[in-house]
Amino acid sequence: MKRVRLLTFNAALGVLDYSLPKGMQVEPGSVVMAPLGPRQVMGIVWEADRLPANEVPDAKLRPLLEVLPVAPLSAPLRRLVEWTADYYCAPMNAVARMVIASGGALKGPATMTEYRLSGGTPERLTPQRLAAIEALEGEQATMRELAAIAGVSEGVLRGLANQGVIEPVTVAIDRRFVPANPDFEQPELTDDQRAVADRLIEAVRTRQFAPFLLDGVTGSGKTECYFEPMAEAIRMGRQVLVLLPEIALTENFLFRFEQRFGAPPVQWHSSLKSTERRRAWRAIAQRPDQGGAQVVVGARSALFLPYADLGLIVVDEAHEVSFKQDDGVRYNARDVAVMRARFEAIPVVLASATPALESLQMAESGIYEKLDLPARFGGAQLPHIDTIDLTQEKPERGRWLAPRLVAALEDRLARGEQSLLFLNRRGFAPLTLCRNCGYRFQCPNCSAWLVEHRLSQRLACHHCGHETRAPDVCPECGEPDCLVACGPGVERIADEVAEILPEARLAIATSDTLNSPERAAQFIHEAENGAIDVIVGTQLVTKGFHFPELTLVGVIDADLGLEGGDLRAGERTYQQIAQVAGRAGRGSKPGEVLIQTRHPEAAVIAALAHGNRDAFYAAETEARRHAGAPPFGRWAAIIISSEHEAEARQAANRLGDTRPHLDDLVVLGPAPAPLSLLRGRYRYRFLVNARRSVELQKIITTWLGTQQFAPGVRVNIDIDPYSFV
């Protein structure tokens, strides 16, 4: 009898042994169904010597039920799952779940129904029906998609279907994606760009692990450069993964990709419908020469998909913190991308104008190869940067824009050029209070203020999503008309611009307003076509966008990100402001950046104003070295939480009593986390700081392993944390 070890998708049981029935064939990586009590559980066949389990006697083993019709997960992918689980102290089956990210994909081929015009005419042709029919010319999609295209309800279309004007078509869900053509439209690269592209092409051909840091100023053509090795991988019949930090950036990328390769890439992100998910998943699991996906562009979760033959990974805007996942498996996609490239023996490109300090350090120590693009494409100059000292040049009372910034805005409007105002705060005001009694609106589930969103007339918690209507009277003292908004958000800045420049066409660009690919696409279209004069936006508009007429960038509050004790606050501020500054003057006209601050002398602000990136990074590196912070030392956060304050506190204190005492490791805490209440759970936090040489994960898992926690207590481990709340 043959014994098979299974990594099951049952979180509590994890690893189980089964017997292999006669006639069934499996290999490591096979995805199978197995019996579990009266039910069934999915699992992945694993090498027994890599995965410890309680040895069950042969006689007690139950037979596997079925092998699912998908290719076995490759050895490099299995190693990645093991590494990720080990490194981030996460259960292996939670990581494996990210691989098997589409239940539908495991079911084998299937069909679905789409609709299209049949060529017939309806009995009664209303203007609405006529418009719908015109809009649907040449389209074929699901009813819901057609309704969106035609801008009518599904009911209208069903009416047309009943009359035979629209007909159903049965299509395979997993139909092939249109192939990309590596030679569709090749740009002429500058000498600098050519050198970078050639080096990357060579690396793709070599088929070996090779990590690159592509360090190019904003507007230098990093995208054009990494398109070339992508084209080479496509020619070789291999697959490419491009990770982008934000869905809002995807539209822009898709557009450029299609211009270069003549067809869209395969997309992977959280808002795919389940049929799109399974189609993408199955295409990814297939080699391109058999009709599989060539290029996949996606959010961080695309990193764990079962690529049939990956040849290159690109991480664009690699410094972005949104590559860090802060729930479930708390991994950093930038780091995992490098590990995947290593297991797959392929090159990986981290592209950024403001690399993470960790990445620069890796380049410095020779582990990453650094490729530089020091100049903007087409002779465009980097913008001129100046600070506005808010303690000297004060905005008018109740306003947020200093006179010099107002004058600059007026000037651009008069010249027909675009301006961008950056404030990393959604909504109208971050805090609302009662003038009469001092009551402050707070989230009932979190220790956080409610943010006023005037556009949607709501008060919202940005941590848990709690929302209420903005009331007319104070809920505490009952006084009417006594609520005051404190501090600005983007909506308030937009109001101020509308007052100062009533004729300016305004757009607010945040995750609230650009919350779908369509809206993002529309915004890009309008901005590119000069239909917007002033953009007011959050970090969403700091990267990726290329608006040639944009010549002024105003940073409303450069000090905002420096508040709070975040280890990376300085670096993040530098990156955000340098990136948003990089939106200015990308076309033929020179750009200007005005940074409002109360601390023009702060190292990060001074470095920005003087364009002295090296000085900033050098100072920051020294500070980190001194503090034993990454990349020189390591941090881990452990959060103990419960719905009951006392339970959380006691569990944290008890854990604190058994803390490890070691030379090269310090355990700080427990202390109430800065967000001491989040989504109705009370939180206590430990911070562990260790030397690089310490086996941090092993020490933490051993320490926590000695503890029994009450069922209501949750323990989260965050290795290399980015969020310190």
When asked if residue 252 is in the footprint of ligand ADP (CB under 6 A), the reply is: no
When asked if residue 224 is in the footprint of ligand ADP (CB under 6 A), the reply is: yes
State in angstroms the smallest separation of the CB of 448 from Zn ion: 6
Judged by CB, which is closer to ligand ADP: 546, or 691?
546
637 and 689 in contact (C-beta within 8 Å)? no
State in angstroms the smallest separation of the CB of 269 from ligand ADP: 20
Span of 67-75, 156-164, 212-220, 468-476 interacting with ligand ADP by CB under 6 A:
212-220
DSSP 3-state assignment of 332?
A: strand
State in angstroms the smallest separation of the CB of 224 from ligand ADP: 4
Place of tokens 């990376």: 568
How large is the C-alpha radius of gyration of the chain?
28
Judged by CB, which is closer to ligand ADP: 188, or 614?
188
Neighbour tally for 109: CB within 10 Å: 9
Helix/strand/coil (H/E/C) assignment for every residue in 273-316: CHHHHHHHHHHHCCCHHHCCCCEEEECHHHHHCCCCCEEEEEEE
Alpha carbon separation from 672 to 36, 306, 501, 668, 725 (Å, rounded): 41, 40, 46, 12, 10
Pick what 464 binds: ligand ADP, Zn ion, none; C-beta below 5 to 8 Å, kind-dependent: Zn ion
Judged by CB, which is closer to ligand ADP: 314, or 429?
314
Pick the binder of ligand ADP from 72, 159, 221, 591 (CB under 6 A). 221
Measured distance CA(510)–CA(501) in Å, rounded: 21
Judged by CB, which is closer to Zn ion: 464, or 694?
464
Pick what 221 binds: Zn ion, ligand ADP, none; C-beta below 5 to 8 Å, kind-dependent: ligand ADP
State in angstroms the smallest separation of the CB of 465 from Zn ion: 7
Measured distance CA(153)–CA(131) in Å, rounded: 13
State in angstroms the smallest separation of the CB of 218 from ligand ADP: 5
Interacting residues with ligand ADP between 375 and 414 (CB under 6 A): 377
Pick what 224 binds: ligand ADP, Zn ion, none; C-beta below 5 to 8 Å, kind-dependent: ligand ADP
Q: Classify residue 685 as left (phi > 0), alpha (psi -120 to 50) or beta.
A: beta
Q: Classify residue 164 as left (phi > 0), alpha (psi -120 to 50) or beta.
A: left
State in angstroms the smallest separation of the CB of 451 from Zn ion: 10
Total binding residues toward ligand ADP, as defined by CB under 6 A: 15
User: In the numeric block, which tokens belong to residue 671?
Assistant: 């202390």
42 and 33 in contact (C-beta within 8 Å)? yes
State in angstroms the smallest separation of the CB of 572 from ligand ADP: 19
DSSP-assigned beta bridge partners for residue 75: none
Span of 50-58, 129-137, 217-225, 489-497 interacting with ligand ADP by CB under 6 A:
217-225
Judged by CB, which is closer to ligand ADP: 268, or 545?
545
Alpha carbon separation from 146 to 45, 170, 360 (Å, rounded): 42, 15, 48
Measured distance CA(158)–CA(212) in Å, rounded: 53
Pick the binder of ligand ADP from 30, 84, 93, 218 (CB under 6 A). 218
514 and 520 in contact (C-beta within 8 Å)? yes
Pick what 220 binds: ligand ADP, Zn ion, none; C-beta below 5 to 8 Å, kind-dependent: ligand ADP
Judged by CB, which is closer to ligand ADP: 193, or 513?
193
Distance of CA 323 to the CA centre of its chain: 5
Closest CA to 10 of 39, 50, 30: 39
Measured distance CA(11)–CA(297) in Å, rounded: 30
Distance of CA 25 to the CA centre of its chain: 39
Interacting residues with Zn ion between 447 and 506 (CB under 5 A): 461, 463-464, 466
Helix/strand/coil (H/E/C) assignment for every residue in 366-414: CCCEEEEECCCHHHCCCCEEEEEECCCCCCCCCCCCCHHHHHHHHHHHH
When asked if residue 546 is in the footprint of ligand ADP (CB under 6 A), the reply is: yes
When asked if residue 33 is in the footprint of Zn ion (CB under 5 A), the reply is: no
Pick the binder of ligand ADP from 129, 199, 222, 634 (CB under 6 A). 222
What is the pattern of x (binds Zn ion, CB under 5 A) and - over residues 408-447? Answer: -----------------------------------x-xx-
Q: Is 271 exposed, middle or buried (0-12, 13-18, 19+ CB in 10 A)?
A: exposed
Span of 222-230, 390-398, 554-562, 617-625 interacting with ligand ADP by CB under 6 A:
222-230
686 and 655 in contact (C-beta within 8 Å)? yes
Judged by CB, which is closer to Zn ion: 86, or 645?
645
Judged by CB, which is closer to ligand ADP: 527, or 640?
527
Judged by CB, which is closer to ligand ADP: 219, or 489?
219
Measured distance CA(517)–CA(452) in Å, rounded: 25
Interacting residues with ligand ADP between 348 and 377 (CB under 6 A): 377
Which residues lie near ligand ADP (CB under 6 A)?
187-190, 193, 216, 218-224, 377, 546
Which residues lie near Zn ion (CB under 5 A)?
443, 445-446, 461, 463-464, 466
